[in-house]
Amino acid sequence: MEFISKNTIKLDKEINELDKLVFEFINILKKHTDYVIVSGYVAILLGRSRTTEDIDVFIKELDKQKFKALYRDLQKKWYWCLNGENPDELYDYLKDGLAIRFALEPQTTPNFEIKFARKILDLGALQDTLKVIIKDKELKISSLERQIAFKRYYLKSDKDLEDASHIEKLFKEEINKSRIEEYKKLIENEMAKTGKR
């Protein structure tokens, strides 16, 4: 595991079944829109030993026709949406700021929770990415500093705090602590606006 440039990590790991599923889904998704993977799967990808039921993905906002094209392509590869079958309704969910979930038929987990990046912090995650290369495949995740800050100061569950500590210990030489503090302030400002504690 090494940084081969400022924004690229190369992982020397065996690709497991969850990784294969993520690569397959992302290969469909990225034909239609920009994306960034956030939260729990990132820690797992980076070596944390735990399970997850969902892979959280922010996507760049699409118009309805482009979303329908994405939906059709997912259906062709045997993905179904846990939130319903009507693409017009699913698009409305996304426009309302809600997430929708896709899984391989007939399963419900693991699933991909996708959401339009609309809030300032979410849009920032789309811009502040890290490329992860495994063999001949690659994914985009949000920056390590952003991952740590969101898990430590926004999500705050025991699992998230452990994820943050795992990432911080693993990359202690590369992580920019002042950036974590910057994200902490942004998160605190957002929480103050929404009343979240």
Task: Flag whether 118 is in a domain.
Answer: yes
The top-scoring range by mean pLDDT among 50-54, 74-78, 155-159, 188-192 is 74-78
What percentage of the chain carries pLDDT values higher than 70? 98
Average pLDDT value for residue range 30-54 = 93
Q: Above 80 in pLDDT, residue 133?
A: yes
Task: Flag whether 189 is in a domain.
Answer: no
Burial class (CB in 10 A: 0-12, 13-18, 19+), 105: exposed
Tell me if residue 98 falls in helix, strand or coil: coil
Q: Above 70 in pLDDT, residue 197?
A: no
Tell me how many domains the chain contains.
Answer: 1
Q: Above 90 in pLDDT, residue 1?
A: no
Residue-wise DSSP of 12-69 = -----HHHHHHHHHHHHHTTTS-EEEETHHHHHHTT-----SEEEEEE----HHHHHH
**pLDDT interval class at 69 (50, 70, 90):** very high
Q: What's the pLDDT at 59?
A: 98
Q: What's the pLDDT at 194?
A: 74
Q: Above 90 in pLDDT, residue 91?
A: yes
| pLDDT tens column, 166-182 | 999 999 999 999 999 99
Task: Flag whether 94 is in a domain.
Answer: yes
Task: Flag whether 119 is in a domain.
Answer: yes
Task: Flag whether 7 is in a domain.
Answer: yes
In 46-137, where does DSSP find H-type helix?
64-76, 87-95, 120-127
Task: Flag whether 48 is in a domain.
Answer: yes
Average pLDDT value for residue range 94-98 = 97
CB 67 within 8 A of CB 75: no
**pLDDT interval class at 192 (50, 70, 90):** confident
Q: What's the token pair of residue 153? A: 């100061």
- Nearest partner of 8 among 159, 132, 142, 117, judged by Cα: 132
Q: What's the pLDDT at 90?
A: 98
Task: Flag whether 65 is in a domain.
Answer: yes
Average pLDDT value for residue range 49-53 = 88
Q: What's the pLDDT at 152?
A: 95
**pLDDT interval class at 111 (50, 70, 90):** very high
**pLDDT interval class at 190 (50, 70, 90):** confident
Q: Above 80 in pLDDT, residue 196?
A: no
Task: Flag whether 148 is in a domain.
Answer: no
Residues 6+ apart with CB under 8 A from 50: 40, 43, 44, 159
The domain of 139 spans 2-143
How much is the mean pLDDT over the chain?
Answer: 94
CATH number of the domain residue 113 falls in: 3.30.460
